[in-house]
């Protein structure tokens, strides 16, 4: 019937995701890589950086992913003004979900609530342990035997919010923050694509400030240290 056709892709349209970065972009790269799979339910529609010189931007361009820069510096302490520019870029690219991946800016409460349930973050510790800066140094000083990474929904409090997926690694004798960071990063690259997929598939519900994941465990490859 003329005029009544539905684009066949509509029913299975991939969620349009923006990855927000400030630096290297290795988690961004892992999301781009995962999203290449035909059956992955999200596409990386935008990589956005607040730093024009973020190395991750070049990686995104090489992968043919649209990029944008919203420099925070002209806005000084006016976070709302920065966020208006950010929101504009997100609207322009029809972004439905945000993945923060090493994005080093704090948001206003208003911005976070606007994206409630639609903004994820990755932090390189087993939250709620060691939020904030220098998580690997914090882990080493605490003497934990296991560390790891967490993907969570973003709420107004920093490095908090319902946990979607966690992966763990051993902390080894002689570790420095750098060696531990490198080990944790391998886990980050596995759990972020997994967590995004679960969210986009509608398999994660937020209940009483926690995430309930249906359809099985939220991450595989668990490792317990020390071993008996
Ligand atoms: C990662 O360790 C991430 O967990 C943290 O910042 C780092 C970003 O690394 N939030 P990359 O830019 O993804 O390589």
- Regarding the beta carbon of 123 and ligand 1, being less than 6 Å apart is answered yes
Q: Reduced to 3 states, what is the DSSP secondary structure of residue 11?
A: helix
Residues in contact with 96: Cβ distance below 8 Å, sequence separation at least 6, in sequence order: 15, 16, 17, 118
What pLDDT, on the 0 to 100 scale, is given for residue 173? 95
Instruction: State which ligand 1 atom lies nearest to the alpha carbon of 149.
Output: 4
The answer to whether residue 11 scores a pLDDT higher than 80 is no
What pLDDT, on the 0 to 100 scale, is given for residue 53? 98
The answer to whether residue 72 scores a pLDDT higher than 50 is yes
Burial class (CB in 10 A: 0-12, 13-18, 19+), 17: buried
Higher confidence at residue 1 or residue 213? 213
Provide the pLDDT confidence category of residue 9 given band limits of 50, 70 and 90. very low
State yes or no: is 123 an active-site residue. yes
Taken as a whole, the chain contains a residue count of 228
The answer to whether residue 4 scores a pLDDT higher than 50 is no
What pLDDT, on the 0 to 100 scale, is given for residue 214? 81
CA nearest neighbour of 100 among 186, 31, 146: 31
The answer to whether residue 68 scores a pLDDT higher than 70 is yes
Catalytic residue among 123, 136, 152, 189: 123
Provide the pLDDT confidence category of residue 2 given band limits of 50, 70 and 90. very low
**Pair 93, 45: CB distance under 8 Å:** yes
Interval between CA 27 and ligand 1 midpoint (Å): 6
- Regarding the beta carbon of 49 and ligand 1, being less than 6 Å apart is answered no
The answer to whether residue 220 scores a pLDDT higher than 60 is no
CA nearest neighbour of 32 among 53, 11, 15, 46: 46
* Backbone φ and ψ of 65, nearest 5°: -100, 135
- Cα separation, 16 vs 145, in Å, equals 38
What pLDDT, on the 0 to 100 scale, is given for residue 1? 42
Ligand 1 pocket test target in 31, 44, 124 with most atoms within 8 Å of CB = 124
* Backbone φ and ψ of 36, nearest 5°: -70, -25
Mean pLDDT calculated for residue range 81-85? 98
Above pLDDT 70, what percent of the chain?
89
- In which residue are the tokens 């892992």 written? 30
- Regarding the beta carbon of 68 and ligand 1, being less than 6 Å apart is answered no
What pLDDT, on the 0 to 100 scale, is given for residue 92? 98
- Regarding the beta carbon of 30 and ligand 1, being less than 6 Å apart is answered no
Mean pLDDT calculated for residue range 215-221? 54
- Regarding the beta carbon of 124 and ligand 1, being less than 6 Å apart is answered yes
Instruction: State which ligand 1 atom lies nearest to the alpha carbon of 185.
Output: 2
What is the rounded average pLDDT for all residues in the chain?
Answer: 91
The pTM for the full model equals: 0.92
Residues in contact with 3: Cβ distance below 8 Å, sequence separation at least 6, in sequence order: none
Helix axes 135-142, 177-200, angle to 10 degrees: 120
pLDDT in tens, 85-137: 999 999 999 999 999 999 999 999 999 999 999 999 999 999 999 999 999 99
The answer to whether residue 138 scores a pLDDT higher than 90 is yes
The answer to whether residue 224 scores a pLDDT higher than 90 is no
């Amino acid at each position: 019937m003329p005029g009544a056709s539905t684009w066949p892709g509509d029913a299975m349209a991939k969620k349009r995701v923006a990855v927000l970065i400030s630096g290297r972009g290795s988690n961004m790269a892992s999301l781009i890589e995962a999203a290449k799979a035909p059956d992955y339910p999200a596409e990386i529609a935008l990589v956005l950086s607040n730093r024009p010189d973020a190395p991750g931007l070049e990686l995104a361009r090489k992968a043919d992913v649209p990029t944008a820069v919203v420099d925070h510096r002209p806005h000084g302490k006016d976070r709302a003004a920065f966020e208006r520019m950010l929101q504009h870029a997100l609207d322009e690219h029809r972004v439905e979900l945000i993945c923060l991946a090493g994005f080093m800016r704090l948001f206003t409460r208003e911005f976070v609530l606007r994206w409630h349930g639609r903004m994820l973050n990755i932090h390189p510790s087993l939250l709620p342990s060691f939020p904030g800066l220098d998580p690997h140094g914090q882990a080493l000083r605490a003497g934990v035997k296991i560390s790891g990474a967490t993907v969570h929904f973003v709420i107004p409090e920093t490095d908090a919010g319902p946990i979607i997926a966690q992966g763990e690694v051993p902390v080894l004798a002689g570790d420095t923050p750098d060696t531990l960071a490198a080990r944790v990063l391998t886990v980050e690259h596995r759990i972020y694509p997994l967590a995004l997929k679960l969210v986009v598939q509608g398999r994660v519900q937020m209940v009483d400030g926690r995430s309930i994941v249906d359809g099985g465990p939220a991450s595989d490859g668990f490792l317990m240290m020390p071993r008996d």
